[in-house]
């Protein structure tokens, strides 16, 4: 046998095709004939991430719903790859939320793939893709796409255009994706897939990545080089900052009298909690936390001021107002964090922004410390030497920490009324849950109340999707959190509005045996937006779940006869319908013993809500002219508040 024959024989034994072998005696590259879909799955299952020596598969499987646009392509490929598990979900949007919830719990080192058919299945994913990108969470979307071959156009669910045959609904993913591509020829995946991985595993660039694969291309076979399918480890870097920038930051901190830290999600994603604690304990610089950063320090650390911004604590907001140097760590400074640019009122305030993304590091004309939060905190701790804030400042912060916790205790155990308030429900869950259990929420009045009130001891115990605040994230995102951390109890807290938006993944949680504990708070409508509507003078217009009143023609009739508890039961959940805090506490005990997804239903009064504290404000524009007296009054107040807004330009 000559060399060529030996090589061919080995290839055939290994199941590889030899049709691409060239006439040269030693061929350059082995190949294997696979469909584009098969090759894509084969590639994805061989991708790993590594940070600090810990290696893990980057994709834990695939969520999806089949249709004519992916059944014969990706569907067939998944069927013949049972080691890459396929999870049937109920809604494509939910699938992407679940993947994002999973990635958040995994500190972005692992995620899931989401596949859809063409048309509505694909566009259902757009909402949650935006959520993932805004929250800087990696998710990979593989929507089916219309025939690249075009001969059969228009296919079922195809958007036609008279100006181009190159449009499909998948073009709508472009602004919400950190990388977007369409595969019109099989060999394009050879260069597209590594780009997909580069972006997904980049701590600075990550978000939703969309790879559209037309339904005909998915099923088309090609001789792919076998090297495409070798194991690849994506090393997640811990980038050190520029030394000059670090020294400038040291100088700025040393000259500060009232510095403070705004801890964002980046602290937790970088696993910089310990480094932050050391820095804070050594220097005495206090910390206020964003929604994504809550838990970066334990709630009872005397340096912890608690929630920052519009939903902030009294201490956090007073200290923010006075701070002369604000050290933002892993924060994108959303309007909730900056109280719509009114939080930082010191005329001399300067920002130091520690962020892996240059984009965030330069915000507020800050001193950009671009790099990994853990590395930078360690560097700053060392370089600052013996620097400390004054004792009086440290004591003031510790007093705020204590006095806030007294407020929390009162809110947790408000005097018993017939119908409890939301803060009592939060208190009951917090009192019952273990420190490593997770509270998870996304929209409505719960996020603000939880931000203020939840006592976090573990940095992964507070899971709020408050970048996109997407009603519907709660149950689907909770499923992802449970899949990532099955050892933790997941307490999903959501309102009736959020529940009605997407209860469907209760079924998926049962199908897969992942237990969720869902706290369903019914206040017959939108307490949050209803309250906001009142604050802008519109009296809660269109925010209650009530019958239309025949006489007035308005939505102010009797409550609708919807039974959400029965609804959850009909989907297969174990339901405890509770009426007061005592029965709610009993249900928490019983729910803990359940092995399947459980819903604890309770009604609360929408009116008794947590107030804003300190200088909390949120900019929601009010009609400049109106026929309503209450709106006109609200506008006058709004004009006053607007005067506190600042640009941070030097």
Ligand X SMILES: Cc1ncc(C[n+]2csc(CCOP(=O)(O)OP(=O)(O)O)c2C)c(N)n1
Residues forming contacts to ligand X in the complex (CB under 6 A) are: 443-446, 469-472, 494-498, 501, 523, 526-529
Consecutive H or E run containing 36: helix 36-44
Contact of residue 509 among Mg ion, ligand X, none (CB under 5-8 Å per partner type): none
Q: Decide: is 496 part of the binding site for Mg ion (CB under 5 A).
A: yes
Site for Mg ion in 499-528 (CB under 5 A): 523
Task: Give which of Mg ion, ligand X, none residue 498 binds (C-beta under 5 to 8 Å, depending on kind).
Answer: ligand X
E-strand ranges in 119-266 read 139-145, 179-182, 208-214, 221-225, 232-235, 259-263
Q: Which does 470 bind (CB under 5 to 8 A by kind): Mg ion, ligand X, none?
A: ligand X
* Stretch of 6-14, 93-101, 310-318, 493-501 lying at the interface with Mg ion (CB under 5 A): 493-501
Catalogue the E-assigned strands of 71-159.
Answer: 86-88, 111-116, 139-145
443 versus 581: smaller Cβ distance to Mg ion = 443
C-beta of 504 vs 511, nearer to ligand X: 504
In the bound complex, what is the minimum distance in angstroms from residue 446's beta carbon to ligand X? Answer: 6
- Least Cα distance to 310 among 535, 541, 543 occurs for 535
- Give Cα 572 distance to the centre of its chain: 27
Binding partner selected for residue 445 from ligand X, Mg ion, none, CB under the kind-specific 5 to 8 Å limit: ligand X
> Residue 471: which of Mg ion, ligand X, none does it interact with, CB under 5 to 8 A by kind?
ligand X
Q: Is 130 in a helix, a strand, or coil?
A: helix
Answer whether 72's CB lies under 8 Å from 451's CB. Answer: no
Nearest distance in Å: CB 470, ligand X: 5
Of 384 and 529, nearer to ligand X (C-beta) is 529
Phi-psi region of 354 (alpha: psi -120 to 50; beta: other; left: phi over 0): beta
Buried b (16+ CB within 10 A) or exposed e, 174-203: eebbbbbbbbeebebbeebbeebbebbbbb
**415, 427 contact by CB (below 8 A):** no
Q: Closest distance between Mg ion and the C-beta of residue 620, in Å?
A: 19
**Quick one: which of 48, 28, 11 has its CA closest to 232?**
48
- To ligand X, the closest distance from the beta carbon of 81 in angstroms equals 34
Comparing CB distances to ligand X, the nearer of 97 and 350 is 97
430 binds, among Mg ion, ligand X, none (CB under 5 to 8 A by kind): none
> What is the distance between the alpha carbons of residues 624 and 32, in angstroms, rounded to a whole number?
67
Nearest-approach distance from CB 299 to ligand X, in angstroms: 23
- Specify the stretch interacting with Mg ion by CB under 5 A; choose among 265-273, 304-312, 467-475, 492-500: 492-500
Strands (E), 497-589: 517-522, 574-577
CB of 546 to ligand X, least distance (A): 13
Question: Of Mg ion, ligand X, none, which one sits near residue 528, judging by CB under 5 to 8 A according to partner kind?
Answer: ligand X
Q: Tell me whether residue 370 or residue 476 sits nearer to ligand X (CB atom).
A: 476
Characterise 371 by phi-psi region: left (phi > 0), alpha (psi -120 to 50), beta (else). left
Task: Determine, following the binding rule CB under 5 A, whether residue 422 of this chain makes contact with Mg ion.
Answer: no
Q: List the beta bridge partners of residue 602.
A: 521
603 binds Mg ion (CB under 5 A): no
Question: How many residues interact with Mg ion (rule CB under 5 A)?
Answer: 4
User: In whole angstroms, how close is the CB of 508 to ligand X at the nearest point?
Assistant: 19
Report, in Å, the least distance between residue 473 CB and ligand X. 9
In the complex, least distance from residue 494 CB atom to Mg ion, rounded to whole angstroms: 9
Q: How far is the CB of 453 from ligand X (least distance, A)?
A: 14
With H, G, I as helix, E, B as strand and everything else as coil, classify residue 601: strand
User: Residue 101 Cβ, how far from ligand X at the closest point, in Å?
Assistant: 16
SS3 131: helix
Question: Of the two residues 209 and 494, which places its CB atom closer to Mg ion in the complex?
Answer: 494
DSSP state of 549: P
In the bound state with ligand X, the residue whose beta carbon lies nearer, of 147 and 526, is: 526
In the complex with ligand X, which residue's Cβ is closer, 176 or 236? 176
The residue number whose beta carbon is nearest to Mg ion equals 495
Select the span of 54-62, 314-322, 494-502, 557-565 touching Mg ion (CB under 5 A): 494-502
Whole-angstrom Cα Rg for the chain? 27
CB-wise, 608 or 646, nearer to ligand X? 608
Q: Which does 142 bind (CB under 5 to 8 A by kind): Mg ion, ligand X, none?
A: none
48 DSSP β-pair partners: 57, 233
Which one among 241, 495, 530, 540 touches Mg ion, defined by CB under 5 A? 495
Provide the edge-to-edge strand list for the sheet that holds 304-307. 304-307, 287-289, 259-263, 325-329, 350-355, 367-370
Rounded least distance, CB 497 to ligand X, Å: 3
> Of ligand X, Mg ion, none, which one does residue 469 interact with (CB within 5 to 8 Å by kind)?
ligand X
Could you tell which of ligand X, Mg ion, none binds residue 59, using a CB distance below 5 to 8 A set by kind? none
d(CA 351, CA 367): 6
User: DSSP for 358-418?
Assistant: HHHHTGGG-EEEES-HHHHHHHHHHHTTT----HHHHHHHHHHHHHHHHHHHHHHTPPP-S
Q: Give the three-state DSSP class for 206.
A: coil
Give the nearer residue to Mg ion in terms of CB position, either 69 or 497.
Answer: 497
By a kind-dependent CB cut-off of 5 to 8 A, residue 612 interacts, out of Mg ion, ligand X, none, with: none
Nearer to ligand X, 48 or 412 (CB): 412
User: Measured between alpha carbons, how far is residue 289 from residues 166, 239, 331, 351 in Å?
Assistant: 46, 23, 9, 16
Q: Which residue, 114 or 425, is less far from ligand X as judged by CB?
A: 425
- DSSP letter at 559 equals B
For residue 292, the tally of other CB atoms under 10 A from its CB is: 29
Rounded to a whole number of angstroms, the minimum distance from the CB of residue 501 to ligand X is 6
638 contacts 621 by C-beta, under 8 angstroms:
yes
The residues that touch Mg ion, with contacts defined as CB under 5 A, are 495-497, 523
């Amino acid at each position: 046998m000559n060399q060529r024959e030996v090589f061919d024989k080995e290839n055939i034994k290994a199941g590889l095709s030899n049709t691409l072998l060239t006439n040269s005696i030693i061929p350059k590259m082995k190949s294997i004939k696979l469909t584009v879909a098969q090759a894509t799955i084969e590639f994805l299952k061989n991708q790993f991430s590594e940070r600090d020596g810990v290696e893990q598969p980057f994709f834990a499987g695939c969520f999806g719903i089949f249709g004519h646009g992916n059944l014969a392509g990706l569907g067939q490929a998944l069927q013949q790859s049972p080691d890459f598990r396929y999870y049937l979900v109920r809604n494509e949007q939910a699938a992407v939320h679940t993947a994002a919830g999973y990635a958040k719990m995994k500190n972005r080192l692992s995620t899931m793939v989401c596949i859809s058919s063409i048309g509505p299945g694909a566009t259902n994913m757009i909402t949650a893709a935006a959520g993932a990108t805004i929250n800087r969470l990696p998710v990979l979307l593989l929507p089916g796409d219309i025939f690249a071959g075009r001969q059969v156009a228009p296919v079922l669910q195809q958007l036609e255009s008279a100006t181009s045959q190159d449009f499909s609904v998948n073009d709508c993913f472009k602004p919400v994706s950190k990388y977007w591509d369409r595969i019109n020829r099989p060999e394009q995946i050879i260069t597209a897939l590594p780009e997909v991985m580069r972006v997904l595993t980049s701590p600075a660039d990550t978000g939703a990545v969309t790879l559209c694969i037309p339904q005909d291309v998915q099923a088309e076979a090609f001789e792919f080089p076998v090297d495409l399918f070798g194991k690849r480890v994506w090393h997640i870097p811990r980038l050190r900052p520029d030394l000059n920038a670090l020294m400038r930051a040291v100088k700025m901190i040393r000259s500060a009298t009232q510095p403070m830290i705004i801890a964002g999600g980046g602290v937790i994603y970088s696993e910089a909690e310990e480094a932050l604690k050391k820095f804070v304990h050594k220097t005495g610089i206090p910390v206020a936390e964003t929604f994504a950063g809550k838990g970066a320090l334990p709630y009872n650390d005397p340096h912890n001021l608690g929630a920052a911004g519009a939903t902030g604590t009294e201490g956090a907001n007073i200290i923010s107002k006075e701070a002369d140097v604000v050290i933002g760590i892993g924060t994108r400074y959303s309007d909730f964090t900056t109280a719509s640019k009114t939080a930082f009122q010191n005329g001399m305030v300067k920002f130091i922004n520690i962020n892996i993304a240059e984009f965030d590091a330069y915000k507020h004309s800050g001193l950009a410390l671009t790099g990994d939060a853990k590395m930078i905190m360690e560097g700053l701790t060392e370089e600052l030497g013996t620097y400390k804030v004054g004792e009086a400042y440290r004591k003031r912060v510790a007093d705020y920490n204590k006095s806030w916790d007294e407020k929390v205790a009162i809110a947790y155990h408000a005097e018993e009324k017939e119908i409890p308030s939301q803060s009592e429900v939060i208190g009951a869950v917090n009192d019952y849950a273990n420190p490593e259990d997770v509270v998870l929420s996304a929209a409505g009045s719960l996020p603000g109340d939880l931000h203020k009130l939840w006592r976090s001891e573990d940095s992964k115990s507070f899971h709020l999707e408050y970048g996109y605040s997407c009603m519907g994230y709660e149950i689907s995102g909770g499923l992802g959190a449970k899949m990532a951390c099955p050892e933790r109890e997941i307490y999903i807290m959501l309102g009736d509005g959020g529940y009605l938006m997407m209860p469907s993944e209760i079924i998926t949680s049962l199908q897969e045996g992942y237990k969720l504990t869902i706290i369903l708070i019914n206040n017959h409508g939108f307490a949050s937006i209803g309250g906001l509507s009142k604050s802008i003078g519109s009296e809660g217009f269109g925010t209650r779940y009530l019958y239309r009143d025949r006489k007035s023609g308005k939505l102010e009739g009797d409550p609708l006869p919807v039974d959400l508890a029965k609804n959850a039961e009909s989907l297969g959940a174990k339901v405890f319908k509770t009426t007061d805090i005592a029965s709610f506490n009993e249900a928490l005990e019983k729910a803990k013993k359940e092995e399947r997804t459980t819903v604890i239903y309770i009604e609360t009064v929408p009116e008794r809500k947590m107030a804003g504290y300190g200088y909390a404000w949120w900019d929601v524009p009010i009609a400049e002219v109106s026929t309503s007296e209450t709106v006109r009054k609200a506008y006058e107040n709004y004009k006053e508040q607007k005067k506190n807004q600042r640009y941070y330009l030097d």
